Amino acid sequence: MKLSSAQLEALERDGFLVLPELFSAAETAAIRARLPVLFAQDHPGNVIERASGEVRTTMGLHLRDDLFARLVRHPRLIEPAQQILGEPFYVQQVKVNVKAAFSGEVWQWHYDFATHKEEDGVPLPLALNLHVFLDDVTEFNGPLYFVPGSHRDGEHGATLDTETTSYPLWVCDQETVRDLVGRNGMVAATGGRGTALIFHDTLLHGSPNNMSPWDRAIFSLIVNPVSNAYRTPTRPDHKHHRDLTPVEPLDDDCLSAADAAA
């Protein structure tokens, strides 16, 4: 799968790209079906919300489940990443971020490169985040908020927040957010199940609490050029993977093959 010149231009301009219904209802259902078992595991990659006890994020999934091992090499994700990056890249992080109905907590304003730089010693903001919506994402159930074009400002400054939620995060201060939103505006990334997102490593984003009666789960694959790999990793493998083997795409029906083998 290749992105069009118009899609590449939009990604460069805005810092993110929405690909509606990139994955079918059957494919999305197959992915969702694996989550209850993964959520129930006693695994360090499962991070639990402080207040509700619900799963907030579950990480290292391609090392824990065959379907996710195939999903991280799906051509509808990997071929656009190859087109954008133009060089070999590795799987840096694999997770599903969850906002359970009524109780899903905030993800503060942040940009991913702050964590990659401070925690892992990644030199440059070249990583790509590739998302797939596993639920319908609406304005009500905790969608991602993006500040379009904020990736072009480079690093925004960040401090480590260990208090707001159960997941420590390098976050941006309110004045920085106010300035960037004032200049660029902000949008909510919404869409049906199977919608995909691609966004850059310095794009400012966050998401609000989920007060709605509808769950919101999003699959996230972060890939990073091998030439730009971690230098001083401090996080465990499920947060930033050590294997620098370049990713190659599988066949387009790889999820069906995994489902048949399960």
Q: Hunting for tokens 């500040």 — which residue is that?
A: 147
Q: Hunting for tokens 């797939």 — which residue is that?
A: 132
Q: Hunting for tokens 């919506």 — which residue is that?
A: 133
Tell me, letter by letter, the H, E, C secondary structure of the chain: CCCCHHHHHHHHHHCEEEECCCCCHHHHHHHHHCHHHHHHCCCCCEEECCCCCCEEEEECHHHCCHHHHHHCCCHHHHHHHHHHHCCCEEEEEEEEEEECCCCECCEEEECHHHHHHHHHCCCCCCCEEEEEECCCECCCCCCEEECCCHHHHCCCCCEEECCCCCCCEEECCHHHHHHHHHHHCCEEECECCCCEEEEECCCCEEECCECCCCCEEEEEEEEEEHHHCCCCCCCCCCCCCCCCCCCCCCCCCHHHHHHHHC
- Kindly tell me the sign of the dihedral angle through the C-alpha atoms of 190, 195, 201, 207: positive
The confidence band for 262, taking pLDDT boundaries of 50, 70 and 90, is very low
CA distance 119 to 215: 30
Residue 11 backbone phi and psi in degrees, to 5: -65, -40
pLDDT at 257: 64
Judged against a pLDDT cut of 90, whether residue 207 lies above it is answered with yes
pLDDT at 51: 86
Domain ranges within the chain, ordered by starting residue? 19-261
Judged against a pLDDT cut of 80, whether residue 125 lies above it is answered with yes
- What share of the chain in percent tops pLDDT 90? 95
pLDDT at 261: 47
Q: Hunting for tokens 């093959």 — which residue is that?
A: 257
Judged against a pLDDT cut of 50, whether residue 205 lies above it is answered with yes
Q: Average model confidence (pLDDT) for the chain?
A: 95
Judged against a pLDDT cut of 60, whether residue 41 lies above it is answered with yes
pLDDT at 20: 97
Cα-Cα-Cα-Cα dihedral of 139, 142, 143, 147, to 10°?
100
- Kindly tell me the sign of the dihedral angle through the C-alpha atoms of 145, 238, 194, 10: positive
Residue-wise pLDDT for 138-174, tens only, equals: 999 999 999 999 999 989 999 999 999 999 999 999 9
- On whether the 19-261 domain is CATH 2.60.120.620, my answer is yes
The confidence band for 194, taking pLDDT boundaries of 50, 70 and 90, is very high
Residue-wise pLDDT for 79-100, tens only, equals: 999 999 999 999 999 999 999 9
Least confident of 55-69, 164-178, 245-259: 245-259
- What share of the chain in percent tops pLDDT 70? 98
CB atoms within 10 A of CB 157: 12
